[in-house]
């Protein structure tokens, strides 16, 4: 197993960046507090994770299993980098893609994948949130460790909104109220 890059840890005191510094859709400006992780930094970190994945796989066939829905952008970008690295190296690694939809992630995925008798099982996640509710599980490849903040964007949603943002952003109280689902609304 190759040496993996360390997770990028974002401190609890990280203020984020002003929305004015980035391209943010006008219809979301009042719904966001700040840009927490800019798109360029996400892509750079994703490329580094792809290099780590390639280093660990050691020429094995990769079966990439994506859990629907959140994370589809990270998944696609990570696989694009893995494929590019494979094409441009002397050791081609075949990649197969499959999808699964789950409500309870960890136990179900680990149980279902065992039926295929894989040589190894590794999990990649763009974000790991520091929260008191955490059960202590850490993915094998993690991009950013972040404080316990309500983040959206880069395919992370709030009631199906904000998936189209390129950056990971912190949602504002205005945004939470505006996009609160009908089922959550009083009355």
Q: How confident is the model at residue 187 (pLDDT cuts 50, 70, 90)?
A: very low
Query: Is the confidence at residue 186, as pLDDT, over 60?
Result: no
Share of the chain above pLDDT 70, in %: 86
Q: Compute the distance between CA of residue 36 and CA of residue 50 in angstroms, rounded to an integer.
A: 22
Closest CA to 127 of 110, 152, 97, 105: 152
Per the prediction, the chain carries an average pLDDT of 85
Going from the C-alpha of 99 to that of each of 6, 75, 96, 158, 160, the distances in angstroms are 27, 11, 11, 22, 19
Q: Hey, what's the torsion of the CAs at 110, 140, 104, 95, to 10 degrees?
A: -70
- What is the pTM assigned to this prediction? 0.85
* pLDDT average, residue stretch 161-179: 94
Domains of the chain: 8-178 (3.40.50.2020)
What pLDDT shows up at residue 150? 93
Per-residue confidence (pLDDT) for residue 184, from 0 to 100: 61
Structure tokens given for 84: 């590019």
Q: What is the DSSP letter of 167?
A: S
What are the tens digits of pLDDT across the range 35-64? Answer: 999 999 999 999 999 999 988 876 788 888
Q: Hey, which residues does 66 pair with through a beta bridge?
A: 99
pLDDT at 68: 66
Identify whether the C-beta of residue 139 lies closer than 8 Å to the C-beta of residue 123.
Answer: yes
**pLDDT grade for 154, boundaries at 50, 70 and 90:** very high
pLDDT reported for residue 101: 72
Radius of gyration of the chain from its Cα atoms, rounded to whole angstroms: 18
The per-residue pLDDT for 173 is 94
Summarised one tens digit per residue, pLDDT across range 63-120 is 887 876 667 899 999 999 998 988 888 877 888 888 777 655 557 555 555 666 777 7
């Amino acid at each position: 197993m190759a040496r993996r890059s360390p997770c990028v840890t974002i401190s609890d005191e990280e203020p984020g960046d002003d929305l004015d510094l980035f391209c943010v859709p006008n219809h979301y400006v009042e719904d966001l507090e700040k840009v927490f992780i800019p798109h360029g930094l996400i892509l750079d970190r994703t490329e580094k994770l792809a290099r780590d994945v390639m280093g660990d796989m050691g020429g094995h066939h990769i079966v990439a299993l994506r859990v629907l829905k959140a994370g589809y952008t990270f998944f696609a970008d990570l696989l694009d980098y893995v494929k590019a690295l494979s094409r441009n190296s002397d050791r081609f690694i075949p990649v197969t893609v499959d999808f699964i939809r789950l409500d309870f992630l960890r136990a179900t995925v680990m149980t279902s994948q065992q039926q295929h008798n894989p040589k190894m099982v590794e999990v990649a996640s763009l974000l790991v949130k520091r929260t008191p509710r955490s059960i202590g599980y850490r993915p094998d490849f993690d991009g950013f460790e972040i404080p316990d903040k309500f983040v959206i964007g880069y395919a992370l949603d709030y009631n199906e909104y904000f998936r189209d943002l390129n950056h990971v952003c912190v949602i504002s109280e205005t945004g939470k109220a505006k996009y609160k689902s009908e089922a959550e609304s009083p009355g």
